[in-house]
Amino acid sequence: MTADGHGRVELCVVIGSGCAGLTAAVYAARGRLQPLVIEGMEPGGQLSLTSVVENFPGFPDGVNGFDLIDNIKRQAERFGTRYRQSVVTRVDFSERPYVLHLQDEDEVIRTQSLIIAAGARARTLGLPGEKEMWGHGLSSCATCDGAFFRDQRVVVVGGGDSAMEDAIYLTKFASEVHVVHRRDTLRASKIMQERARSNPKITFHWNRVPVEILHQAGRVHGVRVKGTGGETGSEKISCDGVFYAIGHEPNTGMFGDALPKDAQGYLTAHGVVSNLPGVFIAGDVADHHYQQAITAAGTGCAAAMEAEDWLQAEGLLQA
Ligand code: NAP
């Protein structure tokens, strides 16, 4: 489709290629919606960056996150899903079919129905040293970057399941893992807490927040942390690498104010049905509570079924 308005109109476009988007694609493809998946900034989503997923039903011994995503992707492809490696920068909801603008491309895509499964991205802190060292000793992906820290000291920031999972994973490589958490109780599930607490390589620094990523000559050499109880001083934790595991922010910038959001910026919907005709919402972009692979998959499935019903009711889908 060119910007002047000629070309194909899609029946169903899925924004996002994580667990929600790909599951939506499986169902949409089997429903003969011929979905086009725009893969987005992080193809495969958060799950493809996860080491072992132990709680996805059907895998008693766990499954590698990347493999799980790759399997769903191939499953959707088998039924006719098409993929496009691009990023949606703006969606124009003022006319139907809706118009999607893509990064670095003159082309636009028009679609009758849209499944938004844009997911969420890792949160950062905006600390001094963060910009300079991002990707050079500072990361939000232990699975991607952990192996660079063999026999070195690393810091993990956060107290949730991701932080515990990252800390445990990093003990495979690092000599010491230091968890910095802003409270004295963990948010993580009991099983993850127990595993982390019983790991002799992991040390907890309670009631602390990082205030600066310390670096010299292109290398991280520590994190400056401060107490959360109003203490005036700060202390340095020496380390070679830092991993943020402090949650996520939903990817909603491309929608402007067209879709309602909750107080934390996540999209809101009635189940998976948005306030706009033919627009459905699935996965973490609308979920700050469960954020599980299986719930994302579930809403992806529901969104595709709703899209199929809607297209049928609009007379856009041949019986
Ligand atoms: P999360 O549960 O939201 O935890 C984020 C952690 O970062 C919290 O401990 C929070 O502290 C801390 N934090 C947030 N903002 C901070 C800031 N500005 N400064 C310092 N610390 C900050 O996020 P998550 O761990 O990524 O997990 C997200 C969801 O995925 C959860 O539902 C989780 O169960 C799920 N998950 C599951 C698994 C698994 O089952 N194996 C693995 C990974 C994720 P507070 O605790 O003080 O708020």
pLDDT tens-digit readout, 164-201: 999 999 999 999 999 999 999 999 999 999 999 999 99
How is residue 192 written in tokens? Answer: 């993850």
Averaged pLDDT score across all residues of the chain: 95
Residue 203: is its pLDDT beyond 70?
Answer: yes
- List the catalytic residues: 141, 144-145
Query: Is the C-beta atom of 3 inside 6 A of ligand 1?
Result: no
CA distance 246 to 158: 5
Query: Is the C-beta atom of 287 inside 6 A of ligand 1?
Result: no
Q: Which of the 8 DSSP states describes residue 133?
A: H
Q: What's this model's pTM, rounded to 2 decimal places? A: 0.83
CA distance 72 to 89: 25
Q: How many other CB atoms are there within 10 angstroms of residue 301's CB atom? A: 18
Q: Do domains 10-122+248-313 and 130-244 have the same CATH topology?
A: yes
Domain borders along the chain are 10-122+248-313, 130-244
pLDDT tens-digit readout, 83-127: 999 999 999 999 999 999 999 888 899 999 999 999 999 999 999
pLDDT tens-digit readout, 240-269: 999 999 999 999 999 999 999 999 999 999
Secondary structure (DSSP) of 30-51:
HTT---EEE--SSTTTGGGG-S
- CA 283 to ligand 1 centroid distance, Å: 17
CA distance 277 to 113: 8
Indicate which atom in ligand 1 lies nearest the CA of residue 246: 7
Assign domain 130-244 to its CATH superfamily. FAD/NAD(P)-binding domain (3.50.50.60)
> The domain 10-122+248-313 is classified under which CATH number: 3.10.129.10, 3.50.50.60, 1.10.1330.10, 1.10.10.60?
3.50.50.60
Q: Percent of the chain having pLDDT more than 90?
A: 87
Query: Is the C-beta atom of 210 inside 6 A of ligand 1?
Result: no
291-294 contacts: CB < 8 A, separation 24 or more?
291/120, 291/248, 292/55, 293/19, 293/47, 293/53, 293/55, 293/56, 293/68, 294/55, 294/56, 294/57
pLDDT band at 3 (very low <50, low <70, confident <90, very high): very low
pLDDT band at 7 (very low <50, low <70, confident <90, very high): low
